[in-house]
Amino acid sequence: MLLRIDPAAGAPLYDQIAASIRADAATGALVEGDRLPSAREVAESLDVNLHTVLKAYQMLRDEGLVEMRRGRGAVIGSAAASLADLRADAQALAARARELGVGPEALAALVRAAAQES
Amino acid sequence: MSVPHDTAASRAIAVGVIAPVAVAATAVVVQLLMLGDLPDPVATHWGPSGVDGFAPAWTVPLMTALLAGGLPLLMSAIAVPPIRAGERGFVLRLLIAMAVGLGVFLALILTGSLVLQRGLEDAADAGSVLPVVAMAVPIGLAVGGAGWLLQPRHEAAPVAATPVAPLERRPGERTMWFGRAEMAPLPLGALLGATVLLGVLALVIGLTSDPVAAWVLAGTAVLIGTLVATLTVFRVRVDAAGLTVRSAAGLVRMGVPASDVAGVAVTEVKGLSQYGGFGIRSIPGATAVVLRSGAALEVTRVNGRRFVVTLDDAGGAAAVLAAVAEDARAAQD
């Protein structure tokens, strides 16, 4: 799994860490049952505060993408399969948006609005 | 024939499979023919002061089939499939030679121990088994040597390593790659099964007969269990510091600092033929953590030595390591 953060980017670091893990789950690089590195290890590697990583893991847990298991640490949960399932739909939607000249930001806003409607 | 004849494979089968089976079968037939002349039970174990173990006579041909026939076949079962698949290596050729040598040695020991007892009323009167051993050891070694020479020289095929381009990153962007090098489920299960079996065996033997043997078995079980726990799963991390490989139990820590990385590539490793087996391996010019055959990350150090670790996503790890190595070089200049 690949984590990447850019301190110069606008988004908070915990959002960026969570987004990296979501992206790996969406591509199938991370599947249900895969163990994540400990929050301390990630904090050390990326040179960020431990609480930043814990907050990212917490967010993912609330989404069902990560489960916290006693003794095993953070493990990828069942929501990863659903995310991977949606990947083909997302790619088709993105291709259609490119055809119509709709940019990534507008498309993301559209999807977010649609997801929040129901 | 359109398919070129594979001498290494056909010789491996002749030396490592057909020969040991023929030897074991001959030994079993010879022993069965002798059964009428033998005391029953026969002596099966010799201590410093003569015979100290007995068993029904029919168990010796059975043991011969299982040991002199089974053990060489087990070794050939490990070596022949890779040889047929085109792999070449010192260990593969050696395993085949050892299979036939061991088979002959065991067949001679077991048959010889019965020859000693022909015509005896009581197996306790059997003479020393040492002359049999003294004859079986050199013959076994000689046959093993012949088994080595009968096989063609194994020329190692050159291994292709594909250099990997660094991951593209924005200035100031930080990256971490995390993965695991794991043994395939099947061999891992076999190892765990063997450990449990040894533990159970130790318990049974300890309760019924020999406490010393039980301790030896229990010790072996604990040792294998520890090795399984420490050496079958490695956590692999690539970050600004470089490559870090740690065994799951945390006992072993290896790696290459970013500043020591001269080149990063992905390669395909063959455990037996390239590294002589699995685990933490050291061969001239390279150190490797090889848990299965297949995709691997290959790092070349500044001094030219290579460090190799098997990873499913070797390409992903390589791209990140190449990027951080670039940063480390830039920082040094």
Per-residue pLDDT of B87-105, as tens digits, reads 888 888 999 999 999 999 9
Q: How far apart are CA A22 and CA A83, in angstroms?
A: 8
Q: Which of B164, B170, B173, B178 to mutate to test the interface with A (most CBs of A within 10 A)?
A: B178
Residue A65 has pLDDT above 60, yes or no: yes
Percentage of the residues of chain A whose pLDDT score is greater than 70: 99
pLDDT of residue B172: 86
Phi-psi region of B255 (alpha: psi -120 to 50; beta: other; left: phi over 0): left
User: Closest Cα partner for B19 from B76, B96, B100?
Assistant: B100
A118 band by pLDDT with thresholds 50, 70 and 90: low
Q: A80 or B104: whose pLDDT is higher?
A: B104
Per domain, the residue ranges of chain B are 7-150, 161-179+234-332, 184-231
User: Which chain B residues are Cβ-neighbours of A4 within 8 angstroms?
Assistant: 169, 173-176
The confidence score (pLDDT) of residue B157 equals 67
What pLDDT score does B311 carry?
A: 92
Q: Which residues of B touch A37 (CB under 8 A)?
A: 176, 178, 235, 237
Q: Quick check: A19 contacting B, CB < 8 Å?
A: no
Over chain B (333 residues), what is each successive 10-residue block's mean pLDDT? Answer: 72 94 96 89 83 86 91 90 85 91 94 90 85 92 94 78 88 91 80 80 73 76 75 89 87 90 92 80 88 91 94 93 91 79
| Straight-line distance from the first to the last Cα atom of chain A, in angstroms, rounded to the nearest whole number | 32
The pLDDT score that the predictor gives to residue B1 is 43
For the cut 80, the answer to whether the pLDDT of residue A90 exceeds it is yes
pLDDT exceeding 70 applies to what percent of chain B? 96
ipTM for the assembly: 0.80
With an 8 Å Cβ cutoff, the interface of chain B facing chain A consists of: 167, 169-180, 235, 237, 239-241, 313, 316, 320
pLDDT of A24 over the 70 cut: yes
Chain B residue closest to A6 (CA)? Answer: B173
The token duo for B328 is 């480390």
Name the residue among B251, B245, B244 with its Cα closest to residue B229.
Answer: B251
How many whole angstroms separate alpha carbon B19 and alpha carbon B75? 13
For the domain made up of B161-179+234-332, the CATH class stated in words is mainly beta
Cβ A32 vs Cβ B166: under 8 Å: no
Q: Does A5 touch chain B (CB under 8 A)?
A: yes
Judged on CB neighbours under 10 Å (0-12, 13-18, 19+), B289 is: buried
Minimal C-alpha gap between A118 and chain B (Å): 36
Residue B13 is predicted with a pLDDT of 94
Residue-wise pLDDT tens digits, B140-185: 999 999 999 999 988 766 677 888 889 988 888 999 999 988 887 7
A93, A53 contact by CB (below 8 A)? no
Which chain A residues have a beta carbon less than 8 Å from that of B167? 2
Q: How far apart are CA A21 and CA A26, in angstroms?
A: 9
Query: In Å, what is the CA distance from B230 to each residue of A76, B221, B227, B279, B297?
Result: 23, 14, 5, 10, 21
- Which residue ranges form the domains of chain A, and what is each CATH number? 13-117 (1.10.10.10)
Token look-up 């993408």 returns A65
Q: How far is B231 from chain A (nearest CA, A)?
A: 18
Q: Which residues of A touch B316 (CB under 8 A)?
A: 2, 29
What is the reported pLDDT for B2? 46
Name the closest residue on chain B to residue A4, using Cα atoms: B175
